Structure 1
Amino acid sequence: MKRFLALLVAVSAALSSFADDRPNVIFILVDDMGWSDLGCYGSEIDTPNIDQLAQDGIRFTQMYNTAKCFPSRACLLTGVYAQQSGMDESHGEMRNAVTLGEVLRDAGYRTLASGKHHGTENLYDRGFDHYYGLRDGCCNFWNPGFQRPGEPEPGHKRIRYWCIDEKTYYPYTPEDPNFYATDAFTDAALEWFDEPETKKKPFILYLSYNAPHYPLHAWPEDIAKYEGVYDEGYQAIQESRYQRQVDMGLVDPKKNPLVGKPQARDWNTLSDAEKVTESKRMEIYAAMLDRVDQNIGKVLEKLRQQGRLENTMIFFASDNGACAEETGAKVVSMTPEDAGKVASFDTVGEDWAIVQNTPFRYYKNYSHEGGICTPFIAYWPKGLKKPGSFNREPAHFIDIMATVVDAGKAAYPKWHHGTSITPMQGVSLLPAFKGKSIKRGKPLFWKWKQGAAIRDGNYKAVRWGDDWELYDISKDRNESRNLAAKEPERLANLAKQWEDWHASAKISD
């Protein structure tokens, strides 16, 4: 009996040690942010906390999403392509797939999600011990619900769904007059960090901000920081960003020339009134990202206070490139005095989206680099070999599940609740954290709306519409030298691989 008790104690200690050695995981996702919008990626926007993560972590120059909000989130949460989970055409339920929450909760993790989901499921029902946030696509940052007494009607497109753990609200009208979505998402996470259950287990936090997606809403004190910054106009800001990217070694001017296709309008052709409006839009956009950075600082400080930062793996990315879309708002005030406030529902527009994606072509929805390439920072004090370095290998959101399963010593299931689960499609990025090469044996694929692409090694075939283009990304990141006419056989082979993939990946209704 004594031997049995001693063995039981030893096993319990070993399991406790095993749990303690596994890293906490935080994935911070922002919405509709351009490739050059962070200080550490060339921006003038003040993002000191994110920049510090980059300085002490690894900056990836070729991390890919899907070019659109909900397919990117589905890839990130499940480790399979959106086509394989039924999330490729409209936001709905993630099928034939498991989430990071489901996999890691089974592995003994505390699982937390705060922010935007953009699906029809409550993440509380998909493996997360807590979920607080916008179940929908976008919302009014000041008030996602109905008009409150003494306030104007909130600018909006339509009523949105909101979740607080097991409850779903339609709409959600916060009572707090100082409610602001970015702050609220962070506050929920900070409260969970103080719970006993979170303190005694490794945890995963999916912190999914809907900023800087439209509507352009920000605190007045944050907007004031950027007053006059954008009066120089599109070209001046873009050129300054590009030069900073070159100076910091982020881009090679020989491989990444600033080609200006497409190009923002000539600032000097705008009227004085238009210049004021355009400058204000970008000031508010910058303020939204500034506030995200402030909130990330709160998360980092809480981890320091709890002594958990050293063994916390933190990722930062955007779900797609900058947004050139119109808002489609049904209720909106365009009065200049309402800019940034609850009655407004504005966006930055195409010209600033081009600047935000410097130096790449196009923006959200396109499968060209400007639509699918995101800043990506990996931070893990205990696990990185070369902090402050760049990684220039292709990576994709499908790789996050494989990476987290690897780091968390979790088991990825073949079946879940009686449903056959699609195998993970990505590869672990842990070798990159150790200064080694990422081992990928298959091409990467994209399909959203009229856009499609395949990346196999250095070559990328991409289209918007029917006609495929071909680029050698190792020499031409800006996709400015189309090789389709010079290498038709290579292009035909890539196009055939894409067709075969899409036919096999697409699940039937």
Structure 2
Amino acid sequence: MLFNLLLFKRLCTQLCFLGLLFLIFQSCRKIESNNKPFITSATENNTVRLDGPPNIVIVLGDDIGYEIPTIDGGSSYTTPNIDQLARDGIRFTQCYASALCSPSRVMLLTGKYNFRNYTKWGVLNRTNRTMGNMFKKGGYKTCYVGKWQLDGGDTSIRTFGFDNYSVWLPYYLKPEDAGGTRYKSAPIYQRGAFLPPEATKDKYSVDLFTDYALNFIRTNKQSPFLLYYSTPLCHVQFSPTPDDPQYATWDYTKSSKRFLPGMVKYMDKHLGILRDSLRSLGLENNTVFIFLGDNGTTKGVISTFNGQPVAGDKGATTTFGTHVPLIVTWPGHINAGGVTSQLVDLTDFLPTLSDITGVPVPGAFGIMDGKSFYPVLTGGNTSSRDYVFNHFQPLISPSNKIPVRYVQDSIYKLYDDERFYNMVLDIKELSPIREDSLTAGERAKKEYFEDILEVMHK
């Protein structure tokens, strides 16, 4: 009896020891699993990628000049989500686009100045390659949402590397020829065909584009992705958004500037929706989020900027025609609340994104004009860019053979017709500096700009 009791105690001790070993083993397995690149929540199929190449989200505002966001000094509009984006990342005070959307978008997508590849308004020749091609070749899922206006429909969109898309104006047409408006009941093009009219009737295009973008993000949360969101806001026609009581009855062929503040607010709202979605999916910390404008604010729009009235100058190569907001966030990599005066132009994004992600620019892309500003994002050295160049010839035709070409930095600008301005003292470019009044420093700067203009040609 005593023997059996001792044997029972020994057996209990061994079982307890084995149980303890099992618990330790399971604990180690749990710790090991938490170090893997993916985690899974209690919800089935809610797996997200935590490391590896970062996702890229680009939101391109249409006709959003530098004076629009509150964080940049504007006070005519409400932009809490843009402002928060700046507080969470880095804000650039010296980013310059072209003066109109089509030339700007070609530069942004290809990393090249317009004299190399811009041939016609609203058309991107299919011999070009874009950041979409670069990221697709690098293993990314790619998506283009919003205003296309680069012609070619499904063939061009896929040729340029975007496998997923929901766009307005897929072909080279005047907007009034496209049927409907860019906002309410807009003709939306997906998978090589326009959606049936009943699918878009009385719906706001931005809502449909954002829904498509959110679905793309959710579907591809386990893979690195590029989302290029070219919002139609805030281009004319200035008109009510779904948050305005006039939405149901407004004639969208008409335009009224009184609706612009509401349109800016709606654009800002959808930027917040995108960020909230990334956050809720656990993707925010591994996503580079970029907001910028494509050119200056529409002519005739008066906004208050740093306490002074400013007139939008879209279409002109002045500061208020080309100066655009740029904000970049990447939690854990970019320090929050940064502000930089580093010069940036729209050719710089393709090489910068290559450096951020480690996805190489294919050699077949040829000459790249962009300068990477990746070091600026991470607090290192400045970019090698110390000037901005522009070759502006938006409507190439027999009657418009002479482009406007210029070089500038944050103070001085030289046109190839020898007009030389101090833009701090003469922001509207009304009085060129006379040759006989140049200081030694100004003369050296002008000669440097002349050398740049000399080599920037076909």
- TM-score normalized by the length of structure 1: 0.67
Measure, in 2, the Cα distance between the counterparts of 1:400 and 1:101: 12
SS in 2 for 1:214: coil
Checking the alignment, whether the CA contact within 8 Å between 2:414 and 2:446 is kept in structure 1 is no
Checking the alignment, whether the CA contact within 8 Å between 1:80 and 1:97 is kept in structure 2 is no
**Residues 143-189 of structure 1: CA deviation (Å, up to 9, x unaligned):** 9954xxxxxxx569xxx985313x044x9745333311111111110
Checking the alignment, whether the CA contact within 8 Å between 1:76 and 1:401 is kept in structure 2 is yes
Q: Are 1:209 and 2:231 matched, yes or no? A: yes
The letter for the 2-side match of 1:470 is Y
Checking the alignment, whether the CA contact within 8 Å between 2:376 and 2:383 is kept in structure 1 is no
Question: Match for residue 381 of structure 1?
Answer: 331
The letter for the 2-side match of 1:44 is S
**Residues 456-480 of structure 1: CA deviation (Å, up to 9, x unaligned):** 57532147xx56233265x766657
Question: Match for residue 188 of structure 1?
Answer: 212
Checking the alignment, whether the CA contact within 8 Å between 1:86 and 1:93 is kept in structure 2 is yes
How far the C-alpha of 1:84 sits from its partner, in A, is 1.4
How far the C-alpha of 1:214 sits from its partner, in A, is 0.7
How far the C-alpha of 1:361 sits from its partner, in A, is 7.4
Question: Match for residue 112 of structure 2?
Answer: 80
Q: Are 1:104 and 2:135 matched, yes or no? A: yes
Q: 2:451 aligns with which of 497, 506, 509?
A: 497
User: How many percent identity over aligned positions?
Assistant: 26
Q: 1:320 aligns with which of 295, 302, 305?
A: 295
Unaligned runs of 5+ in 1: 1-12, 147-153, 226-279, 325-349, 416-420, 505-509
SS in 2 for 1:20: coil
Question: Match for residue 260 of structure 2?
Answer: 285
SS in 2 for 1:175: helix
Aligned length: 386
Question: Match for residue 369 of structure 2?
Answer: 425
How far the C-alpha of 1:455 sits from its partner, in A, is 2.0
Q: Are 1:57 and 2:89 matched, yes or no? A: yes
Q: Against the structure 1 CA distance between its residues 67 and 472, is the aligned structure 2 distance closer, same or farther, given a 3 Å change threshold?
A: closer
**Residues 357-415 of structure 1: CA deviation (Å, up to 9, x unaligned):** 96777611222211111011111112113x11211121111110011101110111122
Q: Against the structure 1 CA distance between its residues 380 and 155, is the aligned structure 2 distance closer, same or farther, given a 3 Å change threshold?
A: closer
**Residues 316-369 of structure 1: CA deviation (Å, up to 9, x unaligned):** 111100112xxxxxxxxxxxxxxxxxxxxxxxxx2x257679677761122221
Q: What is the root-mean-square deviation of aligned Cα atoms in Å?
A: 3.5
The letter for the 1-side match of 2:292 is A
Checking the alignment, whether the CA contact within 8 Å between 1:96 and 1:422 is kept in structure 2 is no
Q: 2:352 aligns with which of 381, 385, 403?
A: 403
Unaligned runs of 5+ in 2: 1-35, 39-47, 248-254, 394-402
Measure, in 1, the Cα distance between the counterparts of 2:261 and 2:245: 8
How far the C-alpha of 1:216 sits from its partner, in A, is 1.3
SS in 2 for 1:50: helix
Checking the alignment, whether the CA contact within 8 Å between 1:26 and 1:315 is kept in structure 2 is yes
Question: Match for residue 378 of structure 2?
Answer: 434
Q: 2:339 aligns with which of 390, 394, 397?
A: 390
The letter for the 1-side match of 2:204 is Y
Measure, in 2, the Cα distance between the counterparts of 1:205 and 1:53: 17
Checking the alignment, whether the CA contact within 8 Å between 1:359 and 1:478 is kept in structure 2 is no
Q: Against the structure 1 CA distance between its residues 189 and 365, is the aligned structure 2 distance closer, same or farther, given a 3 Å change threshold?
A: same
Measure, in 1, the Cα distance between the counterparts of 2:149 and 2:94: 25
Q: 1:455 aligns with which of 408, 418, 438?
A: 408
**Residues 281-340 of structure 1: CA deviation (Å, up to 9, x unaligned):** 33311111111111112111111111001121111111100112xxxxxxxxxxxxxxxx
Q: Which has the larger radius of gyration?
A: 2
Checking the alignment, whether the CA contact within 8 Å between 2:390 and 2:407 is kept in structure 1 is yes
Q: Are 1:130 and 2:164 matched, yes or no? A: yes
Question: Match for residue 190 of structure 2?
Answer: 164
**Residues 63-84 of structure 1: CA deviation (Å, up to 9, x unaligned):** 0111110111111111111221
- TM-score normalized by the length of structure 2: 0.74
Measure, in 1, the Cα distance between the counterparts of 2:451 and 2:96: 19
